[in-house]
Amino acid sequence: MAFPAHLSIVLHAHLPFIRHPEHDYHLEEMWFYEAMHETYLPLLQMLDRLEKDDISGAMTLSLSAPLLAMMGDYLLRERFIAHLDRLVDFCESEVARTKDDARLEEVATFYHRRFTGLREYFVDELNGDVIGAFRHHGATKRLELMTCVGTHPILPFLATDAGKRAQLRVGLDHFEACFGERPRGVWIAECAFAPGVDRILADEGISFSCLEEVAITCAESAPIYGTYSPLISDGGVAFFGRDRYAAAQVWSAGEGYPGDPVYREFYRDRGYDLPMEAVEPYIHPDGIRHDTGLKYHRITGDVALDDKEVYRPQQARQRVREHAAHFVDSRLDQVDAVADSLGDRPAHITCPYDAELFGHWWFEGPLFIEEVFRQAAQNSELRLSTPVEFLREVDAVQQSTPATSSWGENSYFSVWLDESNASVYRHLRNAEYKMVELAENLAGDVPALEQRALDQAARELVLAQASDWPFIIKTGTTVEYARQRLDEHLSNFQRLSRMIDDGEIDEAFLQSVEHRHNLFAEINAQYWCKAG
């Protein structure tokens, strides 16, 4: 191999904006707290260890604007600390409860150490500033930080170029507010691409993004190097295609590493295993059971949940090392197999994943990434790199426009547009057309109160356009909540737009929605003007 191959791990971190100051305890807010203690804090601790040990390599992390807004929100920060406090108390009660069963006591003690350590890390070391910690690792070049398009809409579904551009700028502006600079790359929500999207990205200075494999293999002209090199669109944006083999080893339900019998079982939790009197202080005040994060069993195999064996953390950690070695060796074998077709150019293997796979769905996932870093650093033929580094070093790339696609089922858009959720789109498109009209009519000097109403209308629109709501409706999980959020944002938008049209702003109502949906202080409603 003439040159070391580039291996790019790209994690996409996103959650819909969920903040309910009107409730002391809200179930859907738990999504954020779980992601924090299962994924984002463990990833930061992993990066800290790599920095301490001076392990070479870098990875790419996309942080969506709604997720950043929640990470920076004071109310959610305080509630997260209270959540950690409950978990530490729960762990203490569990250590006492399991003292007569050595196997369960080992797991209870493991969780007590874990949650005590996470609380100390978040409160004492980070002072609650998760964004600052990511900023630090971006500055040391261990992370290439980027963001997502706005609130995670299906970009090709938006009705106007002005609306597409506005959503992109919402994400870029909030990233800059958090990190002090614009990102070089952007994650297109759900990898949902159609020709024309690349032009909008290029106009905003974006140099790269990631797409599903089929976007590259079915591009306007056939890719000379398959997905081992990016395509450059007419606008100058480099698109990196997801590698199917690396994806399968992590994502596949049948052959993926996370399904190994020694790893932690996701679907069994102490919140359901224990009698009500034992969990009541640690679940919803109304007595609604939910996952607590204390999961005492391993996958075991194809057995009923009640027959799962007890989790052994050290055994799982050893399996992580084995899987990381297999992953690195597989990438080297893969590159060797295509070396002749690449000539004298290095291969680029793109490995994009949802960040929450690592830690939330696959508990041992952050340790896996750490082991990949450590093992790749010892191999001269494989370099843990980023798309930016590859573009900096490899000039000659093929120009072609990727194909319409997403990374959803069948690489198309059916997850977000089918008979279960199709009814929402006419309302979203009508609201978008109205936002363009409002922005056009109110360009220039606008009274302060009217400008506030216009800016809040823009917030309500982008929150309604998030792909999360039709996804939830399609998958049938928390459908009532998704529909309620869509109705709320669209209703707020319509009421605000009527106030603006009538020239009579209800300031009390405006203040109430500004308080509930307080993200994106820097939003600019004029982005929806057709001229940009």
Instruction: Give the pLDDT score at 232.
Output: 95
Residue 487 maps to a domain: yes
Among 410, 435, 464, give the residue marking a domain's end.
Answer: 410
Q: How far apart are CA 495 and CA 172, in angstroms?
A: 28
pLDDT digits (tens, 9 = 90+) for 59-104: 999 999 999 999 999 999 999 999 999 999 999 999 999 999 999 9
**pLDDT of the residue at 169:** 97
What is the average pLDDT across 133-150?
Answer: 97
* Residue 285: domain span: 5-72+129-149+188-410
Alpha-carbon distance 84 to 94, whole Å? 15
Residue whose C-alpha is closest to residue 173's, from 460, 432, 511, 462: 462
Domain boundary among the residues 410, 434, 458 is at 410
Q: Are 496 and 515 members of one domain?
A: yes
Identify the helix (H) or strand (E) that includes residue 240: strand 238-241
Mean per-residue pLDDT of the chain: 95
Mean of pLDDT values over 464-488: 97
Residues 374 and 472 in one domain: no
pLDDT digits (tens, 9 = 90+) for 8-62: 999 999 999 999 999 999 999 999 999 999 999 999 999 999 999 999 999 999 9
Indicate the range of 3-7, 99-103, 113-117, 121-125 predicted with least confidence. Answer: 3-7
User: For residue range 159-170, what is the model confidence (pLDDT) as tens digits?
Assistant: 999 999 999 999
**Each residue of 381-404: pLDDT tens digit?**
999 999 999 999 987 689 999 999
3-state secondary structure of 521: coil
Percent of the chain topping pLDDT 70: 99
Residues 423, 405 share a domain: no
Cα–Cα distance between 307 and 431 in angstroms, integer? 51
CA distance 496 to 439: 13
pLDDT of residue 2: 57
Q: Does residue 239 sit in helix, strand or coil?
A: strand
Determine the Cα–Cα distance for residues 519 and 526; give it in Å rounded to an integer: 17
Dist CA 292 CA 242 (whole Å): 34
- What's the CATH number where 323 sits? 3.20.110.10
d(CA 393, CA 398): 15
How sure is the predictor about 532, in pLDDT bands with cuts at 50, 70 and 90?
low
pLDDT at 395: 76
Pairwise CA distance, residues 137 & 306, whole Å? 42
Q: Is the distance from CB of 59 to CB of 143 less than 8 angstroms?
A: yes
Residue 342 pLDDT exceeds 90: no
pLDDT at residue 1 is higher than 50: no
The more confidently predicted of residues 396 and 115 is 115
The CATH number for 446's domain is 1.20.1430.10
- Co-location of 401 and 436 in the same domain: no
Q: Is residue 79 part of a domain?
A: no
**Joined tokens for residue 135:** 């900023």
Does residue 451 share a domain with residue 355?
Answer: no
Query: Where do runs of H (alpha helix) occur along 25-160?
Result: 30-35, 41-52, 65-71, 74-97, 102-120, 130-139
Cβ atoms within 10 Å of 516's Cβ, excluding its own: 13
391 and 298, same domain (yes or no): yes
CA dist 335 and 39 (Å) reads 30
Q: Is the pLDDT of residue 360 over 90?
A: yes
Task: Report which secondary-structure segment, H or E, holds 333.
Answer: helix 313-342
Residue 171 inside a domain? The answer is: no
Least confident stretch, 77-86, 211-220, 244-253, 434-443 = 244-253
Q: Check if the beta carbon of residue 147 is closer than 8 Å to that of residue 204.
A: no
Q: How much is the pLDDT for 396? A: 67
Element (H, E) at 350: strand 348-354
Kindly state whether residues 140 and 278 are assigned to the same domain.
Answer: yes
Q: Is residue 213's pLDDT more than 60? A: yes
Predicted pLDDT of residue 230: 96
Q: Do 422 and 295 belong together in one domain?
A: no
Residues 470 and 374 in one domain: no
At which of 365, 389, 410 does a domain end?
410
pLDDT greater than 70 at residue 459: yes
Q: Are residues 313 and 386 in the same domain?
A: yes
Domain count, the chain: 2
Residue 310 domain-assigned (yes or no): yes
Q: How far apart are CA 203 and CA 19, in angstroms?
A: 33
Whether 386 and 455 map to the same domain: the answer is no
Query: Is residue 362 domain-shared with residue 437, that is, in the same domain?
Result: no
pLDDT average, residue stretch 438-457: 92
